[in-house]
Amino acid sequence: MRDTQPFDHRPDPELGAALRAALEPRDDHAAFVARVMAQYERAQTLPPIPTLDVLASWFRPGIAAAAAAFIAGLLFGRGVLTPAPASIEAAMAPVEGTGLAALVTAQDPPDASVVFASLVEQH
Amino acid sequence: MGNSADDKDLVARALAGDRDAFGVLVDRYAAQARRVARAVLGDPDDADDAAQDGFLSALVKLAQYDARRPFGPWLMRIVANAATDRRRRRNVRRAEPLDPSLVGGGPRPDTAAMRSELGERLRTALGELPERRRTAVVLFDVEGYSHAEIAGILGIPEGTVRSEVFHARRRLRTLLADWKEQVP
């Protein structure tokens, strides 16, 4: 038996042999092989991918959860992202002095300075 | 461990429905699978059940085997998982931890006399180690797998495998040395 080296890369033959003897199966090797092979046909009839069954069981709850999440997201998006409609008065109110209202409501063609002023006010 | 190229050929044939090819694989790895399962479970009958579960599970999953990798570690991972699963179910059923006396398979008058004292001691010592530790040392020192392969089998980092093997060896070597001192 070799000295104990931390994280030795090589198997210990003496310890390995002792453990092997301690764990050696009692019964006949051939009997075990025959026992496994007796189940060969049955094993081949098992579903190859039982995961599909698991996924199938989650299908309906998954669809319901996805629909609920979609509706909640839709409502949230409409509530948060859509700006509240402004009244026509608010839209037409000048920010300062003569502006968009004067331009729109004037009977005569606008003066160039008014147009210019309204553009400057918008920016 | 089996011949790698030969294993791959056998797997390919088994996948194609060749019953005999699968039988050769079972014959080749049966002893190893039973020892690994016994390292996990202790009880030899439970271990054989788990090894059988492992082989049949491997048969069902054979299409998932990556032929670029060695077959032995892939199979041992399935066997170790089958044994761990069986142990969990057994513990739930019994609602108590593994009894070290079970490591030898319990008192069986028909076979007890055949077991050596050292074997009994080693099985008891193995049963007192954490499951991952005893599986790691058996895979390394008995089955000859590398640390990297054991890391793949147990699904843990390679450094953890080294540590587990080191601690298991320290315990088992002490036991072995004590026994050698007692033996004239």
Q: Quick one: A40 and A74 in the same domain?
A: yes
Residue B98 is predicted with a pLDDT of 46
Angle between helices B147-154 and B158-182 (to 10 degrees): 110
Q: By residue range, what is the domain housing residue B96?
A: 4-182
Phi, psi of A120 (to 5 degrees): -65, -40
How far is the alpha carbon of A53 from chain B, nearest alpha carbon, in Å? 15
Q: Quick one: A21 and A39 in the same domain?
A: yes
Q: Quick one: A73 and A23 in the same domain?
A: yes
Q: Quick one: A101 and A71 in the same domain?
A: no
ipTM of the complex in this document: 0.80
Q: What is the dihedral of CA B162, B65, A30, B24, to 10 degrees?
A: -120
Q: Quick one: A49 and A71 in the same domain?
A: yes
- Count of domains in chain B? 1
Please judge whether A4 and B166 are an interchain contact, meaning their C-beta atoms are less than 8 angstroms apart.
Answer: yes
Residue B114 is predicted with a pLDDT of 41
Q: How many CB pairs under 8 A join A and B?
A: 117
Q: Quick one: A36 and A76 in the same domain?
A: yes
Residue A8 lies in a domain: no
Q: Which of B23, B142, B163 sits opposite A23 (nearest CB)?
A: B142
Q: Quick one: A40 and A68 in the same domain?
A: yes
Q: Quick one: A73 and A95 in the same domain?
A: no
pLDDT tens-digit readout, A1-28 = 544 455 677 889 999 999 999 998 877 8
**Close Cβ partners of A97 (under 8 Å, ≥ 6 residues apart):** A117, A121
Q: By residue range, what is the domain housing residue A55?
A: 13-81
Residue A74 lies in a domain: yes
Burial A82-100 (b: 16+ CB within 10 A, else e): eeeeeeeeeeeeeeeeebb
The per-residue pLDDT of chain A, averaged, comes to: 73
CATH number at residue B51: 1.10.1740.10
Q: Quick one: A76 and A95 in the same domain?
A: no
pLDDT tens-digit readout, A38-85 = 999 888 776 654 555 556 666 777 888 888 888 888 888 877 776 665
Q: Quick one: A72 and A96 in the same domain?
A: no
| Cβ atoms of residues A23 and B141 within 8 Å | no
Please judge whether B122 and A22 are an interchain contact, meaning their C-beta atoms are less than 8 angstroms apart.
Answer: yes
For an interface test with A, give the residue of B135, B173, B183 to mutate (most A CBs within 10 A): B173
- Count of domains in chain A? 2
Q: With pLDDT > 90 as the criterion, what percentage of chain B qualifies?
A: 72
Q: Which of B23, B34, B56 sits opposite A25 (nearest CB)?
A: B34
Residue A6 lies in a domain: no
Residue B46 is predicted with a pLDDT of 92
How far is the alpha carbon of A26 from chain B, nearest alpha carbon, in Å? 8
A104: contact with B, CB 8 A cutoff = no
Q: Quick one: A18 and A67 in the same domain?
A: yes
